[in-house]
Structure 1
Amino acid sequence: MKMILFIPLLLVVLSVSTDQTEALALQQSFSPDVHAALREMIASLTEQRLELRSLKKESAGYAAKSERQEAEIKNLKKQLEEHDTKLEGQETETNKLKQQLEVRQVAFSASLLVDGSTTFGPFNTFTTLVFKHVVTNIGNAYNQQTGIFTAPVKGAYHFEWYVGAHGGRHAAAAVLVKNGERIFIAYEYQRSSYGTSANGATLLLESGDQVFVQQWPNAILFDNNNHHTTFSGHLLFNM
């Protein structure tokens, strides 16, 4: 009876032993492959980490380089703007100097008639004379349509005017006027023959001031192709 029970028990033990042996053998057969795979994965991850760090470093380098380039571009742009501003300032100064040079060149001279022969007046009131025969008008400050000189710049100006008329009941007379203020008069009265008179004045004018000549009330003026009655002026110096 004991012998019979021992045989199945031996078979069970042998069976269990065989299974463990096979499992151990199977584990031993798979273990090197798993370790190799793990090593490969670790090596790959390490390599990827190194590449990632390198990329981050390169990216940071590119970013820093980009920032430097952007800063340089901004600096160059600022320098260009400053250069443009400087050029504009120089251009403005050049224009001012050019304008000052141009306004220094102011002079005109004109007579009453372009041609023909005429006696003007007498008139009951002060009458602005329009000197239409313009021989010089440098700077275009004199208006031959109105007879008015307009100062283009502040400065000292000198004016002269000459009047003439045949003698008789009326005198030859004209007055220099600045912005409505009568300055000096040129006056000549003769009972017979031809008489002339002249006068001059230096005036300090502001830019835009107006100067003109008015015929005196109840006076007469004469002019012909010889241009007896004239009005002239020029800038002495600006201020």
Structure 2
Amino acid sequence: KFFINIFFPRICLHCKNDIHYLSENILCHRCHEQLKKIVMPLCAKCGQPIDSGEHCYTCRKLKAPPKCSFIRSCFIFNEPMRSVVHEYKYNDKPYLAKTLGLWMRNTLKINSEFKDFHFLIAVPLAKKRLASRGYNQSELLADIIAKDKDFAVIQNAISRIKNTPSQTTLNKEERKTNISGAFNVLKPEFIKGKNIILIDDVVTTGSTLQELAKTLKEAGAKK
């Protein structure tokens, strides 16, 4: 391993400084310390950190309950997490799924809200984007999580039937419109009556997760 690192040195994905050749980390110690875990108190619905109360201002204004029972994330999407996700999604580094998936699995394991959830579905990519990227980053994360015997991935039960433009530059209402009708259930018998955890790499407004949850519930998913 020492000789491998002479020719292919390990570097921090954010600051690009060298990492000790024996380390399995993807960030240097300084950058890793800058990661901000999402901890209580947080909104019971969307999972956003809040100062007090049960729900954030946005969720308190909702006229109808969201289709997702609740949304939870591991970290605030700031630097250096932004750099890690960018490398994972856009710079052909699927091996990062191992670290990110383990972080997600740990969050699921310590959170009692998930005790009745044992099935995973990764947010599907449109065929065009999947062909361009070569892998579905959410599927790789789900596969890592499912190496724990408490979880199982439901595969090939849902597809993305709409080649939606990237959500990155859209506001909340535009995202909601953009993703509407994007998913189709292929195998409702795999969905009916199950409590399902939806796996995605980044949550911004939650529009994608809510649309997917809506589609799954229409096919008989319990939660």
The normalised TM-score by structure 1 is 0.24
| Higher normalized contact order (CA 8 Å, seq sep 6+, divided by chain length) | 1
Higher fraction of helix: 1
Specify the structure having the higher radius of gyration (Cα). 1
Higher fraction of strand: 1
The normalised TM-score by structure 2 is 0.25
